[in-house]
Amino acid sequence: MPQRVSLLLGVHAHQPVGNFPEVLRDAHVRCYRPFLQALHRYPDFRFSVHFSGWLLDYLLQHFPGDMELLHEMVSRRQVELFGAGDTEPVLAVIPNRDRIGQIDAFSKKLASKFGQRPQGAWLTERVWESTVVPALADCGIRYTIVDDYHFLCTGKTSAELNGYFTTEEESRTLDLFPVSESLRYKIPFSPVDDTVAYLESLADRQTPGIDPAAIYFDDIEKFGIWPETYQWVYEQGWLEQFIQKVLASPKIRTRHYGEYHAGERTRGIVYLPTVSYIEMNEWTLPAASANAYSEIVQQAKSGGWYEHKKAFLRGGIWKNFFSRYPESNWMHKRMLGLSARLAALPEQHRIPQMQQRLFESQANDAYWHGLFGGLYLPHLRRAVYRAMVELEALLDAVAPRPHFFTEDTDLDGVDEAYLQNGVLQAVLKLDRFASICELDAYRLKHNFGDTLRCQAEHYYHKIQTEELRSSDTASAGIASAHDRIGYKHEITAEDIAADDHPRGLFVDRLGGMFIAYRSLSSALENNHFQSENTEYPIHKRIVLDNNRLQVAYCFTGKLTQRFGTEINLAMPSCDGMGGRYLYRGKIPGGFGQSLELTGMTEIVLDDDTLGGRVVLTTSHPVTLRTHPHFSVSQSENGFEKIMQATTLLLEWPVTAAELIVALTFDAR
């Protein structure tokens, strides 16, 4: 018998919590269904699969027939199911109690729905920290997958990475499979014959007596959702041909990870550094550092030494996203606080909905950004905040909080003041702006402060130099999303200019100059501020009254400049058809349009997605200017402008001693 290589082929199917139903349906029709149907026709082709818990729930409910195909393949031992955290959290950034809860919840779900409790686990974004070992092991997980890059960073060579290794932490052991970067870029982008020939070459170059493994585990969305892949994989028959030629090869056999794990011994002990997949090295760095890192990588590639020494060109780690993006860090620290509150809650007060909402708030996608990752996508952040707002309301109902307290939630050295009355919650950043960074309406289950400031991104230099306006594809096969550059929208220099202030609510200016405030320590609660850089003191006070937020400005002297405040409101419909302004019985425009009104004292922001409205009123006539706030993001489909909030600019001459601006939040 010729030497054979064991092909351990795994695919990972995931959609973010809160993604649009039409996106889920399209992903299933173009990817999940045809993939399962193709593999179902070949019972001898063994493979592994991981569907994230939220997506699996959706597919079981809406496409039970296709899920029955998966169940049948599991029953006939064609498929091995992989576990993970139920809502696809990055395990390294949630508390250990929640790691165990998430992993166990999903393992029980697989056992209940498919009759198979997993022994292997998908590791979200392959973010490795040794601290995750105990939770995985305690939940019955015996092995997980990481990139071969993780192993190269320890000094291992590619030739050694044809089996699994063992690591340990706190007296628990876990086995690790190194996923081949070469295979990740070949499957399914290279021609079938080239891919199969590469797999066969892995068998030819092995030492007799050693059962080598070709290890692949990557996003199933590469099989139909990435650009051009539906035509390539299904219409042109790449997947069917690949299956047939692998099964026909005398040098390749398909096996489950569990089958290989049970039949082979570990290649030895290994301790991996804190790391994710290689592309993440650049994405996690601030723009200037990421550009410097990218330049070094390009020099290494041009010099011909990159492949041999890339493990020693280390960039950032996944947790850098919290230090890069204040909005991500704020979400994360708010989630940790709610997790601690739930953990401290007596058992008799807990209900299953609490833990489910906590798990939903830990879904990874809204916390980061690279070529993928959804921090820039408002509907994904909204899903996280909706879960947190719901959980907070449930906790407050059984373990009430004070109506006012201060803490440094995001650990940035600046305290925040929390004002809440059970209906609304306003979180004030106690810095010089004295603005609101979070504004929750519990009945609407929404954070109106959930926006994103514009900051420099490492990929902006591609826009600025207008390089690679069209995709360069290889003469054979198709290009990976990592190698494409495209434009969904026209992007200008103004679109990528960085903000010079936080995108909060009630950011004040006098004569165009930002007003610097200090908190009045003599006040009973720190929601009373006084200006420090104006000729006459300006007092600002923020109060809650049922479903009404009121900001009162008191002017102690005659000011000749015009006073203005900026309110950035995260409206769920963004620039879609469901969001509109209502003014004096008419609709002057949608949230995606600019608007200017003089002598305004009331305007309504009506939002179908929200299922409610915001009524803005002023005690004296003001000039109102509105415009959509966009940021520029990149995705596998190209650069795009994404609306983050509607910006309301109120301006008036200081002719009265006091002006009150109020926001009232009503459900329909």
pLDDT score for 37: 98
On the question of pLDDT at 481 being above 80, the answer is no
For the stretch 238-289, pLDDT in tens is 999 999 999 999 999 999 999 999 999 999 999 999 999 888 989 999 999 9
- Within 13 Å, how many C-alpha atoms sit on residue 470's CB side? 3
One-character DSSP codes across 626-651: EEEEEEEEEETTEEEEEEEEEEEEEE
- Core vs surface per residue 117-137: b (16+ CB within 10 A) or e: bbbbbbbbbbbbbbebbbbbb
One-character DSSP codes across 363-431: -GGGG--SSS--TT-HHHHHHHHHHHHHHHHHHHHHSPPPSEEEE-TT-SS--EEEEE-SSEEEEEE-S
pLDDT score for 471: 41
**Start-end ranges of CATH 3.20.110.20 in the chain?**
5-276
Closest CA to 177 of 270, 292, 59: 270
Q: How far apart are CA 450 and CA 378, in angstroms?
A: 8
From 125, 175, 416, 607, the catalytic residue = 125
Closest CA to 604 of 653, 577, 629, 571: 571
pLDDT score for 525: 67
pLDDT score for 634: 82
For the residues 166-173, what does the mean pLDDT come to?
98
Query: According to CATH, what is the number of the domain 460-667?
Result: 2.70.98
Active site residue 125: yes
Read off the tokens for 445.
Answer: 């289950």
For the stretch 211-252, pLDDT in tens is 899 999 999 999 999 889 999 999 999 999 999 999 999 999
pLDDT score for 466: 54
At 40 the three-state DSSP class reads helix
pLDDT score for 637: 67
On the question of pLDDT at 522 being above 70, the answer is no
Closest CA to 595 of 352, 128, 604, 126: 604
Asked whether the beta carbons of 189 and 477 are under 8 A apart, the reply is yes
From 169, 219, 396, 640, the catalytic residue = 219
Asked whether the beta carbons of 599 and 579 are under 8 A apart, the reply is no
Residue 210 pLDDT class (50, 70, 90 cuts): confident
On the question of pLDDT at 443 being above 60, the answer is yes
Rg, the chain, Cα only? 27
End-to-end CA distance of the chain: 72
For the residues 399-426, what does the mean pLDDT come to?
96
For the residues 115-138, what does the mean pLDDT come to?
97
Read off the tokens for 458.
Answer: 């490492």
On the question of pLDDT at 465 being above 80, the answer is no
Read off the tokens for 223.
Answer: 């099989």
pLDDT score for 468: 43
User: What torsion do the CA atoms of 516, 522, 528, 532 make, to the nearest 10 degrees?
Assistant: -20
Q: Per mean pLDDT, which range of 61-75, 113-127, 196-210, 437-451 is the poorest?
A: 196-210
- SS percent in the chain: helix, strand, coil, step 5: 35, 30, 35
What is the helix (H) or strand (E) element at residue 214, kind and residue range? strand 213-219
Average pLDDT, the chain: 93
On the question of pLDDT at 475 being above 60, the answer is no
SS3 per-residue string spanning 10-24: EEEECCCCCCCHHHH
On the question of pLDDT at 459 being above 70, the answer is yes
pLDDT score for 556: 87
Q: How far apart are CA 470 and CA 466, in angstroms?
A: 10
Q: Which CATH class is domain 5-276?
A: alpha beta
Read off the tokens for 306.
Answer: 């990159």
On the question of pLDDT at 527 being above 90, the answer is no
Burial (0-12, 13-18, 19+ Cβ within 10 Å), 298: exposed
For the stretch 604-660, pLDDT in tens is 999 999 999 999 999 999 999 999 999 998 876 678 899 999 999 999 988 778 999
At 616 the three-state DSSP class reads strand
pLDDT score for 484: 47
Q: How far apart are CA 72 and CA 65, in angstroms?
A: 11
Asked whether the beta carbons of 9 and 220 are under 8 A apart, the reply is no
On the question of pLDDT at 483 being above 60, the answer is no
CA 236 and chain centroid, separation: 33
Q: What number of H helices and E strands is found in the chain?
A: 20, 27
Higher-confidence position of 524 and 349: 349
On the question of pLDDT at 330 being above 80, the answer is yes
Residue 208 pLDDT class (50, 70, 90 cuts): low
For the residues 52-72, what does the mean pLDDT come to?
97
One-character DSSP codes across 233-258: IIIS-HHHHHHHHHHH-TTEEE--HH
Contacts of 393 (CB under 8 A, 6+ apart): 442
For the stretch 2-21, pLDDT in tens is 689 999 999 999 999 999 99
SS3 per-residue string spanning 343-359: HHCCHHHCCHHHHHHHH
Q: How far apart are CA 406 and CA 525, in angstroms?
A: 9
On the question of pLDDT at 92 being above 80, the answer is yes
**Start-end ranges of CATH 2.70.98 in the chain?**
460-667
Closest CA to 491 of 634, 628, 627, 370: 634
Closest CA to 454 of 648, 647, 334, 633: 633
